[in-house]
Chains A and B, each alone.
Chain A
Amino acid sequence: MQSQHHMLPLVVNGVSYVVNGKAIIEDVSFTIEDAGLTVLLGPNGAGKSSLLKLCHGLWPLSSGSIRWGDADVQDAKQKQAMVFQRPVLLRRSAAENVDHVLKLRGASSADRARVIEESLEWAGLADIADMPARKLSGGEQQSLTIARAWALNPEVLLLDEPTANLDPAATRRVEDLIRSFAEAGKKVIMATHNIAQARRLADEVLFLNHGRLLEQAPAEQFMSGPSDPLAARFIAGELVE
């Protein structure tokens, strides 16, 4: 899929994130040039979430720089959407949750109505539009947050372990939506510790451990044989500390 990407390449240069003297992210540098689905892979605590949030401009860098194409991290945020591990939904109906972000962006009420309908339709949530969002199942909730992201028409979708708390059926449903996003030409960057999921979805893999980037490679290449020994042990299913 061809698409205009003013946001790429993503250039992360010498980034560190230190909290209370502890380096959560240590001297990480990489470039992401191509569209498609990039997976940040690694064991729990590797710093994947943190890196994602730094790239999204939610946390300040301790050192280094991040640029999305021509834009700096704060300007780039407007053209991105993020999905969190636990679905963050307001205490209102599904449709109103989508309405809320559209209102924040200043859309007219006619536009909002149309986009809400399209997004919920796209995510297969049309029939629960008026249900209280918090009463939906885990899979429906996470699908809703992705529908909400879709409604924003971002150029980049960031996901932080989106299916970590979901059962297989819900996971499949959410993965289908993520794939749709990527197929629509948006850049997708997803953090996960689930190797099988990475195998299913990734075009590109960045492997992290202890706040450091250990390997970056196209997915096929990485999955058949990573160069980094820790990465190799990880995808072999060992517990990597």
Chain B
Amino acid sequence: MNEFSNAFRTALHLLVEMDPGLLEVVLLSLRVSLSAVILAAVFALPLGAFVALTQFPGRRGVVILMNAMMSLPPVVVGLVIYLLLSRTGPLGTTGLLFTPTAMVIAQCVLVFPIIAALTRQTVFDLHEEYDEYLRSVGAGTRQKIATLLWDGRARLLTAILAGFGRAIAEVGAVIIVGGNILHSTRVMTTTIALETSKGDLGMALGLGIILVLIAVAVNTAVVTIGGGANQRTV
């Protein structure tokens, strides 16, 4: 229990002091994960909707694959992207290894299947509900996708938040492709890992508490913004 009280005290201390080191890693964590989620959502939402609405050969296999990729281990994703971005790798000339951009890419890969699979499920369910009506009024495929995506916005927002949760909480991918470089690619989770490995468990736990608080803050913000809309989306 000593570690826990130590951790709370540390967390409070860091927050009150507005420790600049803490601010730096928090901002970077948010930047990387938000960018990854938004980038993933831009492609995953229409893709998920498309797979839900279109018949094509091998669709069943694609759905299975999409669902399975939600379980991609972050560390494996990190490793693969590391190999791709390494100087000796196929994308080595981009010089992106050990940069925040590489971290965004890795997290985007992790988050994409979550948003796509949940979008597919949501749109599929809504499609069942609205299909005859949409055909009755003559909606084209693109219009159907837009209608269903907007109508499912509460559930889709949850899917996006799930993606964000995955991104901000993972350490395996960002530590490999980012290198945990001080002032450059060090985020909250990698800092926690580092402090733990140094035996500074109180600090590590304190940072963990702050990370959870940030997650709560982000979710609160989203619910508040969508709050008015939320009333109409039941």
Stretch from B30-38, B72-80, B127-135 that touches the partner: B127-135
Q: How large is the interface on A (under 10, 10 to 19, 20 to 34, 35 or more residues)?
A: 20 to 34
A-B contact count (CB 8 A): 47
Q: How would residues 51 to 62 of chain A score, 1 for a CB under 8 Å from any chain B CB and 0 otherwise? A: 001001010000
Stretch from A85-93, A111-119, A171-179, A221-229 that touches the partner: A85-93
Residue of B nearest to A89 (CB): B133
Asked if B143 contacts A91 (CB within 8 A), the reply is no
Interface residues contributed by chain B, number (CB under 8 Å): 19
**For chain B residues 131-169, which have a beta carbon within 8 Å of chain A?**
132-133, 135-139, 143, 147, 150-151, 153-154
CB distance from A91 to the nearest CB of B (A): 5
Q: Enumerate chain A residues within 8 angstroms of B233, measured Cβ to Cβ.
A: 91
Asked if A58 contacts B147 (CB within 8 A), the reply is no
Asked if A82 contacts B138 (CB within 8 A), the reply is no
Asked if A101 contacts B137 (CB within 8 A), the reply is yes
Secondary structure class of chain A's binding surface, majority of residues:
mixed
Q: Enumerate chain A residues within 8 angstroms of B153, measured Cβ to Cβ.
A: 91
Asked if A78 contacts B136 (CB within 8 A), the reply is no
Q: Is B232 an interface residue (CB 8 A)?
A: yes
Q: Is A210 an interface residue (CB 8 A)?
A: no
Q: Is A81 an interface residue (CB 8 A)?
A: yes
Given A90-B147, A104-B143, do A134 and B234 touch, yes or no (CB 8 Å)?
yes
Q: Is A77 an interface residue (CB 8 A)?
A: yes
Instruction: Select A100's contact among B147, B232, B234, beta carbons within 8 Å.
Output: B147
CB distance from B4 to the nearest CB of A (A): 43
Asked if A152 contacts B234 (CB within 8 A), the reply is no
Asked if B130 contacts A88 (CB within 8 A), the reply is yes
Given A132-B231, A132-B232, A134-B234, do A88 and B132 touch, yes or no (CB 8 Å)?
yes
Q: Is A84 an interface residue (CB 8 A)?
A: yes
Asked if A77 contacts B136 (CB within 8 A), the reply is yes
Residue of A nearest to B232 (CB): A132
Asked if A104 contacts B139 (CB within 8 A), the reply is yes
Asked if A58 contacts B136 (CB within 8 A), the reply is yes
Q: How would residues 113 to 151 of chain A score, 1 for a CB under 8 Å from any chain B CB and 0 otherwise? A: 000000000000000000010110000000000000000
Given A91-B151, A92-B232, do A104 and B132 touch, yes or no (CB 8 Å)?
no
Jot down 15 A-B pairs with beta carbons below 8 A, ordered by A: A56-B136, A77-B138, A81-B136, A84-B132, A88-B133, A90-B151, A91-B154, A91-B232, A91-B234, A92-B151, A92-B232, A104-B137, A105-B137, A135-B234, A152-B137
Sample of 13 more A-B contacts, CB < 8 Å, known A56-B136, A77-B138? A53-B132, A90-B130, A91-B154, A93-B232, A101-B137, A104-B138, A104-B139, A104-B143, A132-B231, A132-B232, A134-B232, A135-B234, A152-B137
